[in-house]
Amino acid sequence: MKELMEMREKRLNAWNAAKAFLDSHRGTDGLLSAEDDSIYNKMIDDVDKLGKEIVRLEKLEALDVEMSRATSRPLVSTPIMHPKEEVAESKTGRGTRDYTTNFWRTMRSKSVPHEVMNALEVGTDSEGGYLVPDEYEHTLIEALEEQNIFRQLAHVIHTSSGDRKIPVVASKGTAQWIDEEAQYPESDDAFGQVSIGAYKLATMIKISEELLNDSVFDMPSYIAKEFARRIGAAEEEAFFTGNGTGKPLGILAATGGAQTGVTAAKTDAVTFDEVMDLFYSLRSPYRRNAVFIMNDSTVKALRKLKNGAGDYIWQPSVTAGTPDTILNRPVYTSGFMPALTTGSKTILFGDLGYYWVADREGRSFKRLNELYAPTGQVGFLASQRVDGKLILPEAVKVLVQA
């Protein structure tokens, strides 16, 4: 916790130093020289690296809390055996201990008929051989991935079968002033309907039997995390840019996606006035829960912008778990948002609670024993049925480059 706080303070100091450098090195035209621009970009890169390190430390801290929990309950009385009685569990379905135990026993054992793994083999070092030596560090180092943010911001529902019909008020009636004894005017609400179905997202991993059985690592956890990474990245890309054909309709779609709030004057730059116009293009009720989403390169450009009082509009967070802000609204970054290029939708601002994600059942796993038996491998399949759609386009606005 102390290291995390120190890292946040270090990031804030780095940002303040970058602001001071920018203020002191602007020319009479308000721009930086090529040399100063290179130095400033290096300082901003340091801020970004510190930010990613903070995210990593937060994840480690959460993992430490999880791993430090007791793995069993202490005995507070003399155990009494009841062979014919079943011990009731508070969890049901997939949450029970038996389900978890049997699931991973199925994943590991070839003898179970219905079982699940990208060609990981002991024979080739780069494809899994590095994981099995007896005298080896029991920690697997992986490259960090971009954080998936869409599900934590969107509205997630669960469906069992068929399309989900969502009623939407298309337009509302109004009241009018009338004279005494005059006829009451008719003004009805108009209703529409949005349908959400389910598209299938799938992936497969193959692992050699030796690696599955002999690895010094927790292979089931690695498989589960790898499946989650693949499926999570694919679905998040669709939630942003999907065309609705064989995949969800993304929030940036030309038809059915977010509405255009502002069109920038330049193809590769944004001004403070344009950010302000985007902010107020969204109606007040939606701004209460609205967030900004943009590419990292766009955030870097916005860090140079000031408001009318001379303050930078981007404000770094100093509190754990709290995102940075622009105009007092949270800022999230995603690699699936376009960079500052001609005609691109580069900044999204709105209430993502109006983007609905529909999960059909849950993620399913299956083990394939016989298909890869001649090569001594076991296959694992993972799939998920999901759809997503922006229910109310006026709730989200985008800034589009010229």
> Tell me, what's the pLDDT at 327?
92
And the tokens for 292? 């900004």
226, 363 Cβ separation under 8 angstroms: no
Strands of 184-258 (E only): list them: 190-196, 199-208
- Distance between CA 402 and CA 271 in Å, rounded? 13
Helix or strand or coil: residue 120?
strand
Domain ranges of the chain: 112-136+145-166+192-295+334-402
End-to-end CA distance of the chain: 45
CA-wise closest residue to 141 among 217, 57, 64? 217
Q: How many residues does the chain have?
A: 402
pLDDT tens string, the chain, 402 residues long: the values are 678 788 888 888 898 898 888 888 888 777 888 888 889 889 988 888 888 888 888 877 776 776 666 655 665 555 555 554 444 455 555 556 666 666 666 666 544 444 344 445 555 555 555 444 444 444 445 555 566 789 889 998 888 776 777 777 666 667 878 788 788 887 776 667 777 888 999 988 888 887 777 766 677 777 778 888 888 889 999 999 999 999 999 999 999 999 999 999 999 999 999 999 999 999 999 999 999 999 999 999 998 888 888 888 888 887 777 889 999 999 999 999 999 999 999 999 999 999 999 888 767 778 888 888 888 888 888 888 899 999 999 999 999 999
Q: Which CATH architecture has domain 112-136+145-166+192-295+334-402?
A: 2-Layer Sandwich (3.30)
- List the one residue out of 312, 296, 287 whose CA is nearest residue 346: 296
Handedness of CA 279, 283, 284, 289 (dihedral sign): negative
Cα 327–chain centre separation: 22
Is the whole-model pTM more than 0.75? Answer: no
Per DSSP, the three-state class of 73 is: coil
SS3 labels along 42-73: HHHHHHHHHHHHHHHHHHHHHHHHHHCCCCCC
- C-alpha 363/C-alpha 345 separation (Å) is 32
Are 46 and 316 spatial neighbours (Cβ–Cβ below 8 Å)? no
